[in-house]
């Protein structure tokens, strides 16, 4: 083994959607990986095809990637190996599925755990790390693995940069050792709030940008939306306790730019559908995947109202999604807003 080559680790990805599958494929190039999904029939089909034909078709599984619907087997795979290395659990569910998954893990002797989901829990307004603490407390090291990343590009082995955010330095080191390498770079942060707010609210801004693009409002409007969207993300994030520098990095500006402009973005496609006059139910059905910006828009609108944070773009997206406001009416309202000083903070702006 070369001196700079990381030791093989035992990694389990819990959730066989597109992003979970892509991460499993990427890390299985260097580690022993298990991909778990709750649907036994679907997982049997994936195991036979060696391809997730429903959520991420066209990306064959490497030999070191095993597939199972046995939850006990999947979790047990991450127990400490003969070399003394703790394994890594990666939760790859949507935000709505994180709490039930964590309850399934409660009481088990699990090692390090990170989550990939981006959003707020609608019923509680909690971020993923708050859900994690609510269910598992501080007994297990946890963190968010986030950043600008499309599943198809990661599975294809194209370059990607992510951030692992955790208050545990040991967990950050574990994730860097396991995931960093090849075409994937992993940076570290202790700003869980900032990283998670950036990852959540950028999805709402992608819906707004997709809608503007679908209406043919031009590149000037797109640039303005992304820039003012960053201001909204930063206002909310710093009010909640995030560091302003985080929003200039991968999980802030980086993720925002990718999701607002990339044609692989589900949330951008929601905005494009709204511009075409499609009903929300139709758009979501056509996607066939979860678009986190939809429930997030409602949760963030309510949270911002409670905190007194001005978020006109978020309010506009939520009004299109849930209040029946038409895109052209919303554009007229936004253009009629009074001028003000440009600033990223404070919340009163």
pLDDT in tens, 263-291: 999 999 999 999 999 999 999 999 988 88
CA dist 255 and 307 (Å) reads 24
Indicate if the pLDDT at residue 38 is higher than 90.
yes
Q: Phi, psi at residue 34, to the nearest 5°?
A: -120, 130
Residue 109 is predicted with a pLDDT of 83
CA dist 324 and 260 (Å) reads 23
298-315 residue pLDDT tens: 999 999 999 999 999 999
Query: What would the mean pLDDT of 81-97 be, rounded to a whole number?
Result: 84
Q: What stretch of H or E contains 10?
A: strand 10-14
End-to-end CA distance of the chain: 56
Residues of the binding site for substrate: 118, 266-267
For β-strands 142-146 and 160-165, DSSP reports them as antiparallel
- Name the band, by pLDDT with cuts 50, 70 and 90, for residue 336: confident
- Name the band, by pLDDT with cuts 50, 70 and 90, for residue 292: very high
Q: What is the dihedral of CA 311, 317, 318, 323, to 10 degrees?
A: 130
Sequence-ordered alpha helix ranges (H) in 114-218: 128-136, 151-156, 169-179, 192-214
Domain boundaries, the chain: 10-190, 194-335
Residues of the binding site for sn-glycerol 3-phosphate: 118, 147, 149, 202, 255, 265-267
DSSP class of residue 181 equals: B
Residues of the binding site for NADPH: 19, 38, 55, 118, 151, 266, 290, 292
Query: What would the mean pLDDT of 313-327 be, rounded to a whole number?
Result: 95
Three-state secondary structure of 90-119:
EECCCHHHHHHHHHHHCCCCCCEEEECCCC
Residue 344 is predicted with a pLDDT of 55
Query: Which single residue is written with the structure tokens 């969207």?
Result: 229
Residue 169 is predicted with a pLDDT of 96
CA dist 64 and 247 (Å) reads 36
CA dist 175 and 6 (Å) reads 11
In CATH, the number for domain 10-190 is: 3.40.50.720
Indicate if the pLDDT at residue 84 is higher than 70.
no
- The set of residues, in sequence order, having a beta carbon less than 8 Å from that of 127 and lying 6+ positions away, is 120, 121, 192, 193, 196, 197, 200
For residue 135, say if its preceding peptide bond is cis, omega within 30 degrees of 0. no
- Name the band, by pLDDT with cuts 50, 70 and 90, for residue 3: very low
Strands (E), 15-68: 32-36, 65-68
Asked if CATH classification 3.30.460.20 holds for the domain at 194-335, the reply, yes or no, is no
- The set of residues, in sequence order, having a beta carbon less than 8 Å from that of 173 and lying 6+ positions away, is none
Six token digits for residue 183: 């075409």
Residues of the binding site for NAD(+): 15-20, 151, 266
Query: Mean pLDDT of all residues in the chain?
Result: 92
Please indicate whether residue 348 or residue 127 has the higher confidence score (pLDDT): 127
Three-state SS for 210?
A: helix
Residue 85 is predicted with a pLDDT of 67
157-214 residue pLDDT tens: 999 999 999 999 999 999 999 999 999 999 999 999 999 999 999 999 999 999 999 9
| Range in 107-111, 135-139, 165-169, 178-182 the model is least confident about | 107-111
Residue 25 is predicted with a pLDDT of 97
227-259 residue pLDDT tens: 999 999 999 999 999 999 999 999 999 999 999
Residue 348 is predicted with a pLDDT of 44
Residue 332 is predicted with a pLDDT of 86
Which strands form 112-115's sheet, in the order they lie side by side? 65-68, 32-36, 10-14, 88-91, 112-115, 142-146, 160-165, 184-189
The pTM for the full model equals 0.92
Query: Which single residue is written with the structure tokens 């990339």?
Result: 262
Could you list the active site residues?
Answer: 202
């Amino acid at each position: 083994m070369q001196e700079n080559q990381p030791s093989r680790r035992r990694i389990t990805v819990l959730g066989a959607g597109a992003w979970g599958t892509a991460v499993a494929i990427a890390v299985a190039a260097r580690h022993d990986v298990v991909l778990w999904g709750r649907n036994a029939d679907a997982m049997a089909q994936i195991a036979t095809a060696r391809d997730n034909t429903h959520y991420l078709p066209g990306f064959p599984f490497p030999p070191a990637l095993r597939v199972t619907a046995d939850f006990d087997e999947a979790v047990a795979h991450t127990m400490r190996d003969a070399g003394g290395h703790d394994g890594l659990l990666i939760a790859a569910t949507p935000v709505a599925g994180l709490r039930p998954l964590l309850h399934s893990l409660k009481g088990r002797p699990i090692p390090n755990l990170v989550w990939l989901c981006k959003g707020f829990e609608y019923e509680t307004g909690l971020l993923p790390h708050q859900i994690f603490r609510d269910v598992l407390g501080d007994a297990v090291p946890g963190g968010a693995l986030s950043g600008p990343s499309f599943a198809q590009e990661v599975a294809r082995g194209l370059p990607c940069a992510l951030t692992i955010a955790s208050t545990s330095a040991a967990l950050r080191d574990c994730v860097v050792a396991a995931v960093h390498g090849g075409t994937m770079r992993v940076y570290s942060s202790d700003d869980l709030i900032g990283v998670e707010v950036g990852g959540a609210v950028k999805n709402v801004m992608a819906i707004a940008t997709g809608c503007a693009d679908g209406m043919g409002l031009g590149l000037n409007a797109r640039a303005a939306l992304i820039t003012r969207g960053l201001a909204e993300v930063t206002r909310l994030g710093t009010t909640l306790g995030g560091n302003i520098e985080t929003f200039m990095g991968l999980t802030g500006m980086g993720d925002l730019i990718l999701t607002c402009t990339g044609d692989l973005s589900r949330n951008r496609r929601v905005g494009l559908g709204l511009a075409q006059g499609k009903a929300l139910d139709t758009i979501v059905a056509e996607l066939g995947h979860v678009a986190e910006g939809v429930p997030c828009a409602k949760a963030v609108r309510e949270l911002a109202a409670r905190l007194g944070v001005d978020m006109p773009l978020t309010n506009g997206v939520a009004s299109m999604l849930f209040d029946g406001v038409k895109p052209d009416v919303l554009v007229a309202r936004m253009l009629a807003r009074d001028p003000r000083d440009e600033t990223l903070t404070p919340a009163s702006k």
